[in-house]
Structure 1
Amino acid sequence: MDRAQLILVGLPLFLFCSDIFHLFSPPPPKPAAPHHHHHQPDSQPLIQQQQPSLEFPTQKASGIGFGNTVSIDFCASCSYRGTAVTMKNMLETQFPGINVVLANYPPPLPKRVLSKLVPIVQFGVIGIIVGGEQIFPRLGFAAPPQWYYSMRANRFGSMASTWLLGNFLQSFLQSSGAFEVYCNGEPVFSKLKENRFPGEIELKELVARRISNSRVIDGINGGQWS
């Protein structure tokens, strides 16, 4: 087996092994937010140096959404990021102090595994088109099949069609079509169930209702323990 055939066989196997490793490996930890220390000149009065550190916690703790977290899990391959960012900005404006987290909603495991196999099939078909006359005899075929000659007659068109069709299939397998909203771990809206996106006013009311219910429960629990 010459060098070209080794590359055609080894490259898909390497991509498949690396994709399987990344598929089952845990996500990396989120980096800690950097702390910026602002040094003020010594000539300024001591009161001016302490004023920002005294006002910032008071403003943050007084927000209507302080202590609440909203998670928006969306399909990143479906171009839903713009809608998710719009909803995030709206919630942060309507509920000051709320924590809105955006994350990708992955497809089911079988679709993820199939999406990893698509590039291997693409490289395999392209490799057969390029060097099928040497590959088929090594596989035990006396002569290449008839469909090989049909693809070989239009080599560049067959390779372009294989690449475009594979990319379309991979994009379909990686899409989940999800736009799921959770408030404090409780589901608020599900596009997978409703088959539509939430409106801004609708989502604001749903989150406000969830926050008020949380406050009522916390108040009851606090009264029982007091």
Structure 2
Amino acid sequence: MDALNGRNLALLVLCLCACYALAAEGDGAKEIPPTKFAQNIAAPTMTFLYCYSCGYRKAFEDYVNILGEKYPQIQVHGANYDPPGLNYYLSKLIFALKICIIVSVVSSVSPFTFLGLNTPGWWGHLQTNKIYACMMIFFLGNMLEGQLISSGAFEISLNDVPVWSKLQTGRFPSPEVLFQIIDNQLQFTEKIQENPDFVK
């Protein structure tokens, strides 16, 4: 009876760890604070949705600096581009499984026992080499997650109107092209003006 209670407690701890890890990753990876160049709410807004796992955060920051020099009135926001379809949810599932397996290996709790199955020999090998097993599970899980959520996206919209898509063009816009897009989109408004001191 005590062994059964201990197993139930271990299973509860595993579930809580997985839920906490999913919640923590969802909050930390997706929310990227916006960069504001002006406090005027009616100012034009440019939104960048980019592939965070592809390393495009640096490109986003470069565009923020360039736009801030030429168009100080524009508010620039950036966020992670969530992959379409089931890839996003599969990556979350793999993350949860990775955490559960690592916790099981470290705590020497066999999930097969809870399922009423015989413990396979490879699980015993994981138990005898815990550090190596945890490292391999961690890196393999990260690799699978990265493949699922790596979209290659760098999507730009101005006032909620899409103006550039790396998924369609296959490349980043040059600063000159982006300036031309902004000028064309906002040529009929007086809310935005170029910085007269901007050096082209």
Contact 1:70/1:99, CA 8 A, preserved across alignment: yes
1:85 correspondence with 2:87: no
Contact 2:17/2:100, CA 8 A, preserved across alignment: no
1:200 correspondence with 2:197: no
2:164, 2:25 → 1: CA distance?
Answer: 30
Percent of matched pairs sharing the same residue: 28
* C-alpha displacement of 1:150: 4.2
Contact 1:178/1:191, CA 8 A, preserved across alignment: yes
Spell out the pairing of 1:46-125 with structure 2 (5 A cutoff). 67-108=43-84, 110-125=86-101
- Higher mean displacement: 160-169 or 6-15: 6-15
TM-score (norm 2): 0.68
Give the letter aligned to residue 108 of structure 2.
G
2:25, 2:76 → 1: CA distance?
Answer: 27
Q: For structure 2, which runs of at least 5 residues remain unmatched after alignment?
A: 191-200
SS in 2 for 1:208: helix
CA, structure 1 residues 211+118, in 2 after alignment: closer, same or farther (shift >3 Å)?
same
Spell out the pairing of 1:1-226 with structure 2 (5 A cutoff). 1=4, 3=6, 5-6=7-8, 8-18=10-20, 19=22, 67-108=43-84, 110-126=86-102, 127=104, 131=108, 136-137=112-113, 139-141=115-117, 143-152=118-127, 154-212=129-187, 214-215=188-189
CA, structure 1 residues 147+170, in 2 after alignment: closer, same or farther (shift >3 Å)?
same
1:72, 1:140 → 2: CA distance?
Answer: 49
* C-alpha displacement of 1:17: 4.1
2:68, 2:114 → 1: CA distance?
Answer: 63
User: Which protein has greater RCO, CA pairs closer than 8 Å, 6+ apart?
Assistant: 2
TM-score (norm 1): 0.61
More helix by share: 1
2:9, 2:140 → 1: CA distance?
Answer: 23
CA, structure 1 residues 145+186, in 2 after alignment: closer, same or farther (shift >3 Å)?
same
Deviations along 1:165-207, one digit per CA (max 9) or x if unpaired, are 1122233334432211111221111011112111111211121
SS in 2 for 1:181: strand
SS in 1 for 2:108: helix
- Higher mean displacement: 85-94 or 102-111: 102-111
SS in 1 for 2:123: helix
* C-alpha displacement of 1:162: 0.8
CA, structure 1 residues 148+207, in 2 after alignment: closer, same or farther (shift >3 Å)?
same
* C-alpha displacement of 1:93: 1.8
2:148, 2:167 → 1: CA distance?
Answer: 16
Contact 1:12/1:120, CA 8 A, preserved across alignment: no
1:69, 1:87 → 2: CA distance?
Answer: 14
